[in-house]
Amino acid sequence: MRIEDISGKDLMVERLHSTSVEEAFGELLQTIGSQRNLDVSLISACLTAVMDRHRKVPCGLARGLAFPNARLREISRPFLAVGMSDRGIELGGRDGSLSQILLLYLGRAPIRADERELLGRLSLALTDPAFAARLRSSEHAEDLWEQLRSIDREVATAVRGGGT
């Protein structure tokens, strides 16, 4: 499974208009719903699940990144929507930073092996300070999308023996 299998340029939100946690998550979920034709009731259930999880374990990472996420049995395939916030949103970043890049992930329950492998690659990328800086320096949705796609390209290069 690749980033392109769960996301796309159409799931990049160049400027989040929301300033509250629930509104920002809702904005990203509405993007998934409208771009992937998901039922409004499913999007509502996803918002409840993402908010519940965030209340238990804040989704703020560090360096201005956040990874709100939830798994639902009703999700037939995983989705990743990404939003950019100029002001940043308080999501409990471990370093105290406001989250400027929100990567909202909806996964299947139970998790499958291909999804677990993709999440491992994504997790490694999100904890890399250089990758986080590249995401934050993205000015447009296209730039953000290219940075995310680079995760798959870097893995493919390493598999072919071109990695260091």
Q: Which domain holds residue 149?
A: 3-159
Q: Report, as ranges of residue numbers, the positions in the chain whose pLDDT lies below 70.
A: 155-164
Looking at the domain assignment, is residue 68 inside a domain? Answer: yes
What proportion of the chain, given as a percentage, has pLDDT over 70? Answer: 94
Domain containing 134 — which CATH number? 3.40.930.10
Can you give the pTM of this predicted structure?
A: 0.92
Structural domains in the chain (count): 1
Rounded Cα gap, residues 150 and 144, in angstroms: 10
Per-residue pLDDT, 155:
62
Q: How many C-beta atoms lie closer than 10 Å to residue 126's C-beta?
A: 19
Q: Tell whether 164 is covered by a domain.
A: no
Tell me whether residue 18 is in a domain.
yes
- Residue 63: exposed, middle, or buried by beta-carbon count in 10 A (0-12, 13-18, 19+)? buried
C-alpha dihedral sign at 26, 48, 98, 106 = negative
Check residue 153 and give its pLDDT: 83
- The answer to the question of residue 89 being in a domain is yes
Is residue 40 situated within a structural domain?
yes
CB neighbourhood size of 128 (10 A):
14
